[in-house]
Chains A and B, each alone.
Chain A
Amino acid sequence: MILRDDWKQTLPAHMKPSSYATKPTRFTLFLRTFVPWQIVRFLIVNIKMMRMTWLNKHSH
């Protein structure tokens, strides 16, 4: 959705394009910086990225 910039200035918050977007809950935000959980995610994301590099080496 594109709105005119001058409309944006006057629109109430619930009518801006961002009001149609999903937003993280407080629990999600907490998990994003909760160190023990993030250590687990660090390992998982690294494994996924290594799978990707392995795939790049062996898919051709």
Chain B
Amino acid sequence: MANVVVLGAGVAGHTAAAFLRKWLGREHQVTVVSPKPDYNWLPSNIWVGLGLRTPQSVLVPLKPVYDRVGIVFKQARAVTLFPEGDAAMPSPHVEIEYTAGDKNQQRELVPYDFLINATGPKLKFDATEGLGPEHFTNSVCTADHAFHAAQAFLRDVEAMKHGEQRRFVVGSGHGTCTCQGASLEYVVNLEAELRRHGVRDKAQVIYLSNEYELGDFGMGGAHIRKGGYITPTSIFTASLFAERGIEWILQAHVEKIEKTQISYITLEGEHRTLDYDFAMLLPPFSGVGLKAINASGEDISAALFAPNGFMRVDADYAAKPYEQWQAADWPKTYQSPAYANIFAAGIAFAPPHAISQPHFTKDGLPIFATAPRTGMPSATIGKIIAESIRDQIAANGHALRTASMAKMGAACVASTGTGLTMGSAAAMTVCPIVPDYQTYPEYGRDLRYTMGEIGLAGHWIKVMLHYLFLYKARLLPGWTLIPE
């Protein structure tokens, strides 16, 4: 019998656990440890954040699903890894702390034969003074954050209906943020909602970002074949913003947020301020702060984790200049180089470096988008790790499965307005996610698989994906037919 423990129940962790349960015999145990009781279909948080959906509509309670399929669920957060065991338990184990129920705040040692770290990001609101729902800005990182963002947004809409004017600022709350796609989706939807409420003329909408150019998205932008041209996403995005009357400020590191004012520094080193009434600014991410202790009781966290807290895997972490970055730097198997029975999936693995070209102020302050790890690659990585563990448990001699972000593509459907006949979304695919300039010297990507277009069809796809992936998350009959 093998014990497989999955830390985290986001896209990567939930996918890995579900496939392991499907593939492994009942003599093997699959355990999921997650501090939250629900699976959150994050792409639809954008709609929750504008009052278009309820938080419940984007959440799937995990316990009933896991009880039904035979996965052990512990609502707890992982605290410390003991990959070699210790005096208390000689076999590899992880110390967890319950976050709810009768055992709330109690600690427990959970043994494992294989461990998947899919803990996702820590939302580092504390990186910028005044950032986050506990201070002055909104967020859509969780369904609860999004719900409160919607309440604030609708209050401003009501004020505008009574003749007041408002300035909305959406984007990055720090110079090293990622997930600019989510900010873009939110700002364009917000603008569409202002029009739907009949108050667009009373609002100024500004996109504030750490990106070097519009459409960078933390992946160095992309090129798409459209209308007889090969067009960079900077033009694609600028066109969308210009059409919607959304202004933009780029290359900005937000330093401080007060009740009505955002202070930021530009790449040129100029300090500026921006007054605002409503702000939705995403935080930078880091690892969740797991520690690791070896059999001698020594802290080996630095061997397992990068300085940003994400787990080291089979990537090339050697520091090198941007000009020397290559596709081969990116991990393939997501296996820890320190312990062969530990893997990291989704946001939890440490990228070897950014994808976008780094930029710094003359004082060395980084202002550029860091690498995104969106749902599609996260789910694919979760699945191939599950396959690798299945193979190892079966001892079938199969090599570890691979899925490099420098080989796989990603599809992104960014809602730009809702409505069955008047909605729209930007549907984009890029392949590979990490540009490979050795294979594709001119653009770094295969233009046969890289596309983007805006229209009602994209909105239908976005709605379809919402229901399909929530169905899949519930592990209902036929869920494996829905691709990652």
Which residues on A are within 8 Å of B, measured CB to CB?
Answer: 2, 4-5, 8, 16-24, 31-33, 35, 38-39, 41-42, 45-46, 48-53, 55-57, 59-60
Contacts and interface: CB of A to CB of B under 8 A. Distances in A.
Nearest to A8: B247
A57 B125 CA distance: 36
Contacts of A8: 247
Given A21-B238, A56-B409, 8 more contacts: A4-B272, A5-B274, A17-B247, A33-B421, A42-B461, A45-B451, A45-B458, A52-B409
Given A21-B238, A23-B242, A60-B403, A49 B411 contact: yes
A49 B380 CA distance: 14
A53 to B, nearest CB: 4
Q: Chain B interface mostly helix, strand, loop or mixed?
A: mixed
Contacts of B380: 56
Given A21-B239, A21-B241, A59 B449 contact: no
A3 to B, nearest CB: 9
A48 B265 CA distance: 41
13 contacts: A4-B272, A18-B241, A23-B239, A23-B242, A33-B424, A35-B456, A38-B456, A39-B457, A45-B458, A48-B429, A48-B451, A52-B410, A60-B332
B470 interface: no
A21 B396 CA distance: 56
Interface stretch (B101-109, B188-196, B248-256, B290-298): B248-256
A42 B457 contact: yes
Contacts of B250: 2
Nearest to B455: A32
Closest 5 CB pairs of A and B: A21-B242, A21-B238, A18-B242, A42-B457, A41-B457
A32 B460 contact: no
B266 A2 contact: yes
B219 interface: no
Given A24-B243, A45-B427, A52-B409, A17 B248 contact: yes
Contacts of B401: 60
Given A21-B241, A22-B238, A2 B249 contact: yes
**Which of B402, B404, B429 has the most C-beta atoms of chain A within 10 angstroms of its own C-beta?**
B429
A4 B376 CA distance: 38
A59 to B, nearest CB: 5
